[in-house]
A = this chain, B = another copy of it.
Amino acid sequence: MKSNQTGNPTRRHFMKAGMATSAALLSSSALAQETTLEPSRGPGKTVMEMGYYGERSEYVKDARMKGNRGTGLIGGSLTPLQHGHGIVTPSGLHFEVHHSGVPDIDPSEHKLLIHGLVGEEKVFTMEDLMRFPTVNRFHFLECAGNGMGEWMSPRGQTVQQTHGLTSCSQWTGVPLKVILNELGVRGDAKWVLAEGDDGARMTRSIPMWKAMDDAILAFAQNGEFLRPEQGFPLRLLVPGFEGNMNVKWLHRLEVGDKPWWTHHEVTEYADPRPDDKIRAFSFIMEGRSVITSPSAGMTLNGPGFYEISGLAWSGAGTIKKVEVSMDNGNTWHDANLEAPVLPKCHTRFTLPWTWDGKETTLMSRSTDDTGYVQPTYEGMYKLQGPIGLMHNNAIQNWHIAQTGEITNVRS
């Protein structure tokens, strides 16, 4: 083992390894005075002074990072992954992208039309839909453009900028197959067009196999109704497929026998290839991982113990393994995968690490249950060419200087 070694936590391992240096060892009486001199802190805020819907502490400032272009109506915001924990993204920090602003929809007036190659065409109110059987599933959502700025060279200054277009929630809704079976689907039906009730009339073609597999007409997220920027009151959820296909503010599904070649699926959400062709209909967000802590923008406070923590996910299935290198890819160590490890869902991985204070590079590499191994940038270039747009899932390198400063680098 090299000096950047892993190891099982043992008694006094961490403090001996040089951490927690600010925690002074004091005499017992001094300790007692430190925190217990007063028999009461004095009265706090009463429940009547608190909100019916609670808010976070004024000391907590974690925030989405906003961006927009053109007229300002195409925009979005990124999740601060460097401040996240576990696998649930707080709904208030979930990333979002919109193409003509976020509509304000009264759910009592919202309707979903389902028509085309079905036995019966029908309009559903929200009340109608919510009477059907529901499922609750933990799934990540990732924008196909997550990391698009990183193709040519490392530019993001934090993991929020490099990877912040992925988030994870428990989603609730009616399986689309339940509704399609209810109406009846004609034998020649092969595709479903999903259309959003936003200014952009976002439309995407969904293959019928996906509609009849795990697609969900979702109305809730993390135990409450969808947030407005997540498609309130109704969105399509196509687990593991690129974010844009999870059409928000869903108001129309048309069943057809071929894809519609809509604007967004053949222009913005398509992939240039080295042979000058364009790959469209690249649905699945392939296996990916990133170390969220320590990560770029942070500074290690001297040699000693650090827990490496990160997220891995695969739109093709379940994460089976995450390997971490603390020596620029020379050696790799299996990280701990924290339960629950769920399909098409963020998986939290951790690895104990003692930094020896020398310059090095951290990286992580995921493997999913299809056997797919997260590629390097070199591997990505062979597939898509060096000027990619979408579906960047390459291994991320975080460089650690002797000062402890962490930066985003290409190996």
Chain A contacts to B: CB under 8 angstroms: 9-15, 19-20, 22-26, 28, 31-32, 34-36, 39-48, 50-57, 59-60, 62-64, 66-68, 72-73, 75-77, 83-94, 96, 98, 100-104, 106-108, 111-113, 115, 120-125, 127-128, 131-136, 138, 170-172, 178, 181-182, 184, 195, 197-201, 220, 222-229, 232-233, 251-252, 305-307, 309, 338-340, 342, 348, 350, 352
Contact = CB atoms under 8 A, between A and B. Distances in A.
Nearest to A200: B40
B252 A35 contact: yes
A11 B68 contact: no
B307 A35 contact: no
B56 A53 contact: yes
Contacts of A54: 64, 91-94, 96, 227-229
Contacts of A63: 52-53
A105 B225 CA distance: 31
B342 A224 contact: no
Nearest to A116: B28
Given A122-B25, A128-B22, A47 B31 contact: no
Given A44-B102, A85-B134, A90-B222, 11 more contacts: A19-B128, A26-B122, A46-B68, A47-B68, A48-B75, A50-B229, A57-B226, A88-B222, A90-B223, A134-B307, A138-B340
Contacts of A51: 92
Contacts of A342: 339-340
A52 B34 contact: no
A339 B59 CA distance: 35
Contact of A59 (B107, B171, B340): B107
A267 B64 CA distance: 46
B93 A57 contact: no
A50 to B, nearest CB: 7
Contacts of A198: 41, 44
Contacts of A59: 106-108, 232-233
Given A66-B47, A121-B26, A136-B86, A222 B222 contact: yes
A267 to B, nearest CB: 18
A115 to B, nearest CB: 5
